[in-house]
Amino acid sequence: MALPIMMVHGGATRFQTRFHKDILNAVEKAARTGMCVFTKGGSSLDAVEAAVYVLEETNLFTAGRGASKNQDGEIELDAMIMDGNRLESGAVMAVQDIIHPISLARYVLERTSNYQIAGKGANRLYQKMIAEGYREEVDTKRTSVPSIAAGCDTVGAVAVDADGRMAAAASTSGWPGKLVGRVGDSPIIGAGVYANDVAAACCTGKGEQILRITMARMAVYHVEDGLTVEEAAERIMGELRQKTSGEAGIILADSRGNMTVRFDTTHMPTAILCSDSNVPYASMVPKWP
């Protein structure tokens, strides 16, 4: 596919049929927003942050405004963003009272010398981010629609710019009723998200399974080792099934613009845009080019 490329997903799970249209519209809008960032001269990091922000803003996914509650009835969010070229990342874990943890993760990457900030510290950093004007405050209103998905549905994105520089990002509230303080794969480098100068990956599914095989890092490693992105995704999905009996999904791209989507759940809404098409390739079910 012609660079730049924008890939967006809304989680590997099963979604109620009556929401499919809205969900596909949301992932398409997120992919377009990411692509728009490129046309305005933004980087792949800007593109993945913008795309994930769009998905956090809807209440269709268990992230951002649609987040689900933990055992105590509170919301704790995880997010991560990674710059493949710099091999640097920013992540926040179990952060409360915000809608867009992806922007806070970006702030961690750009404005601190740390990579992962949890809980109270992340909230403190959020106040600093707003005070500095790095990103604007948004209202934290959430609608309490019952979950549209069976389980959980992290959102994520992978972008490759015109020069082949990659970034990946994910955002989630994790599983409904999770233990207070539970952190899944999404904000853990190499588990839910990984990017370097060869490939970039974003995974979704049961975090406890994805963590066991450091799924995103291993998918990228398989590409470094000479597999095509299709072969690498197939291999890592097989490893997850075999070693953990988990179900999951992955979006994976390399620096030349080869990309793939794999999942073994019923649905994984995904939208893909490249520079030579104006219409996102979008689907809930497996039928990728």
Task: State which amino acid sits at residue 225.
Answer: D
Alpha carbon distance, N-terminus to C-terminus of the chain: 10
Q: Whose Cβ is closer to ligand ASP: residue 69's or residue 135's? A: 69
3-class DSSP state for residue 39? helix
Q: Is 160 left (phi over 0), alpha (psi -120 to 50) or beta?
A: beta
Q: Whose Cβ is closer to ligand ASP: residue 164's or residue 192's? A: 192
Asked if residue 172 binds ligand ASP (CB under 6 A), the reply is: yes
Q: Whose Cβ is closer to ligand ASP: residue 248's or residue 274's? A: 248
DSSP assignment string, 114-183: -SEEEHHHHHHHHHHHHHHTSS---------PPPSBSS---EEEEEE-TTS-EEEEEEE--STTPPTT--
Asked if residue 174 binds ligand ASP (CB under 6 A), the reply is: yes
Q: Which of 34, 66, 84, 207 forms a contact with ligand ASP (CB under 6 A)?
A: 207
Whole-number minimum distance, CB 14 to ligand ASP, in Å?
11
Determine whether 62 is an active site residue. Answer: no
Asked if residue 85 binds ligand ASP (CB under 6 A), the reply is: no
Whole-number minimum distance, CB 4 to ligand ASP, in Å?
25
Whole-number minimum distance, CB 250 to ligand ASP, in Å?
11
Q: Which of 28, 56, 76, 153 forms a contact with ligand ASP (CB under 6 A)?
A: 153
CA 106 – CA 217 distance, rounded (Å) = 20
Asked if residue 280 binds ligand ASP (CB under 6 A), the reply is: no
The upper half-sphere exposure of residue 180, i.e. CA atoms within 13 Å in the direction of its Cβ, equals 5
Asked if residue 206 binds ligand ASP (CB under 6 A), the reply is: yes
Task: State which amino acid sits at residue 93.
Answer: M
Asked if residue 265 binds ligand ASP (CB under 6 A), the reply is: no
Whole-number minimum distance, CB 184 to ligand ASP, in Å?
3
Q: Where are the beta strands (DSSP E) in the chain?
A: 5-9, 77-83, 88-95, 116-118, 155-160, 166-172, 193-195, 199-205, 248-254, 259-263, 270-274, 281-283
Using CB under 6 A, which of the segments 38-46, 82-90, 140-148, 184-192 binds ligand ASP?
184-192
Q: Whose Cβ is closer to ligand ASP: residue 57's or residue 247's? A: 247
CA 95 – CA 117 distance, rounded (Å) = 9
Phi, psi of 150 (to 5 degrees): -85, 95
Q: Which of 43, 70, 116, 186 forms a contact with ligand ASP (CB under 6 A)?
A: 186
Q: Kindly list the catalytic residues.
A: 154
Contact positions toward ligand ASP, by CB under 6 A? 11, 152-154, 172, 174-175, 184-186, 192, 204-207, 210
